[in-house]
Amino acid sequence: MKLCQHPLLLWLISNIYSGHTEEIKPRVTIKPDSPVFRGETVTLRCDICDGVTSWRYNWYKDSSTSVFSEGQEHTFSFVSESDSGKYSCYGTETEGSRRSQRSDEVTLTVSVPRAVLSVSPQKWLTEGDHVTLICEVNGSSTGWTFSWFTVTVSGSRNDYELLSDSSRGAGGKYTVSSATLNHTGVYVCRAEGDKTAVYTTYSNKQPLWVTGVSPPVSLIINPSRTQHFPSVSLSLSCEGQSNSDGWTVRRYTDSGWLEDCSSIRRGSQTGSTCTIRSTSTSDTGVYWCQSESGENYHHVNITVHFGVILESPVNPVTEGDNMTLCCLYPYISPPKLRADFYKDGSLIQNLETTEMIIPTVSKSHEGFYFCKHTERGESPKSWISVRGESRQGSQISVLKILSSVLAACPYLIVTVVLIYKCCRMRGKTPE
């Protein structure tokens, strides 16, 4: 039972107002109260608690003197952003002369439900890694069914293609327990209300980059580094183990756009080589090689930056190898700076030299690196991955050892025979 309909309260109110005409104040409620999304059904209700049930109601919006609607309730069957505003109501007796005050204003805010996509633990993966895409709706945690898409290029337009196993992420999490090269791509999500036909916008784009152990093609960058200065020429070539026919360079920029080399401003594709004649900061993004059948390999994150940059390996570093990092600045000659070097935000070497050498790299050296100069500033961060020695490489090493041993065997046998004969001859020498 509503408070204003309680019998004792109605009797008290009726007696209080029986001897005078003081105006009373209505109360406005909104259902649902919050959050309210575009496309939902929303009801405004005006209640006057005075024991009298016969009232005429007028509704006003944004302090206007014009009547917006009449009736105790006003329902928006399909609410939109234009319905946002401050609402109040006013009542007059149908069989009397009393009038209420205007109620306090209640704010109705209608927003577009937006899906937000994130990735855990990170978007740079190696084959076999675990990764989870997480889709959430701002301002609402329950009551949604999620769909998952990949972004594809169609001419100069980006399209969304529904994943065949989209239902796996119905609960808001799309999990890949063992990543493969086929999981490389740019993902978005969208949600639909479980009880209402309300759709969110497509989420922000979230790429996943999966690196294989021995890709059939490599992206060769000239100059050979991942960070570059503006207004310089940059060459990217796809070179395969046998031939490079049919491979093109494609990129995903920081602005969230997928495009081919031929679509890049100041860019051109000749065979398997992409040339950017004069780089700009808008060329920052992930570049890779793609085959005619849609396979893509060797993703490299390239940054174009004014000021200090870090020179670091383009390819993953093999465990046991040495790794050299340099800090470069374009306005000095030579362009190398004495700088501080950082890994994952922690200082690992101070201003002692123009380069940092890490001998015998291990998996623990994997991470984000950058350099910093007290006056010139700091470079962007670059991810450096470390891979173990391949099984094939280990087999080759074993074969080399065996070959060396077998090659040395004849010499060992001859040496043993000579020593044996020498010992026998000494034994036959007369006293």
pLDDT tens across 170-219, in order? 789 999 999 988 899 999 999 998 877 788 989 999 999 988 767 788 89
Give a yes or no: residue 411 inside a domain. no
Same domain, 189 and 131: yes
pLDDT at 424: 58
Number of domains in the chain: 3
Give a yes or no: residue 408 inside a domain. no
Which DSSP helix (H) or strand (E) runs through 78?
Answer: none
Same domain, 231 and 369: yes
Same domain, 264 and 280: yes
Give a yes or no: residue 402 inside a domain. no
State how far the Cα of 323 lies from the Cα of 317, in Å rounded to an integer.
7
Secondary-structure percent of the chain, ordered helix, strand, coil, rounded to 5: 15, 40, 40
Same domain, 377 and 295: yes
Query: How distant, in Å, are the alpha carbons of 213, 248, 272, 407 from that of 244?
Result: 19, 9, 6, 38
Same domain, 127 and 47: no
Average pLDDT over residues 47-56: 80
Same domain, 223 and 358: yes
Residue 165: band (very low, low, confident or very high) from pLDDT cuts 50, 70, 90: confident
* Single-letter amino acid code for the residue at 306: F
Instruction: Using the 3D structure, point to which of 141, 176, 211 is the last residue of a domain.
Output: 211
Residue 84: band (very low, low, confident or very high) from pLDDT cuts 50, 70, 90: very high
pLDDT at 385: 85
CB of 220 closer than 8 Å to CB of 302: no
Instruction: Using the 3D structure, point to which of 163, 185, 211 is the last residue of a domain.
Output: 211
Give a yes or no: residue 123 inside a domain. yes
Domain membership of residue 67 as a residue range:
3-111
Same domain, 82 and 121: no
pLDDT at 74: 96
Average pLDDT over residues 1-28: 54
* Single-letter amino acid code for the residue at 368: F
pLDDT at 241: 66
Helix (H, G, I), strand (E, B) or coil at 333: coil
Same domain, 129 and 171: yes
Same domain, 126 and 253: no
Least confident of 18-32, 75-89, 404-418: 404-418
Give a yes or no: residue 157 inside a domain. yes
Same domain, 161 and 79: no
pLDDT tens across 229-270, in order? 999 999 999 988 666 678 889 999 988 888 888 888 888 989
User: Above 50 in pLDDT, residue 7?
Assistant: no
Instruction: Using the 3D structure, point to which of 74, 91, 111 is the last residue of a domain.
Output: 111
User: Above 90 in pLDDT, residue 57?
Assistant: yes
Return the CATH number at 67. 2.60.40.10
User: Above 60 in pLDDT, residue 112?
Assistant: yes
pLDDT at 243: 63
Same domain, 203 and 227: no
Same domain, 366 and 225: yes
pLDDT at 395: 43
